[in-house]
């Protein structure tokens, strides 16, 4: 399950990076980041 989505924009308002953070099942285990590169 996706815990949070972080969107990073540059000064011109263009998306430069999107990060998906996942939480383990039932909140167990560490959070981990899935880099997705540029805009979706």
Residue 30 CA, chain-centre distance (Å), reads: 15
Number of domains in the chain: 1
* Alpha carbon distance 12, 24 (integer Å): 35
Structural domain contains residue 40: no
Over residues 1-40, the pLDDT tens digits come to 667 788 889 899 988 888 877 765 555 556 666 666 655 5
Q: Rg of the Cα trace of the chain?
A: 12
Write out the residue range of the structural domain in which residue 9 sits: 2-35
* Alpha carbon distance 33, 11 (integer Å): 24
SS3 25: helix
Q: What is the pTM of this model?
A: 0.40
User: CA torsion, points 8, 13, 16, 22, in degrees to nearest 10?
Assistant: 30
Structural domain contains residue 9: yes
pLDDT of residue 21: 75
């Amino acid at each position: 399950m996706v815990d949070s989505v972080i969107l990073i924009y540059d000064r011109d308002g263009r998306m430069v990076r999107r990060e998906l953070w996942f939480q383990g099942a039932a909140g167990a285990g560490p959070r981990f980041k899935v880099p997705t590169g540029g805009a979706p």
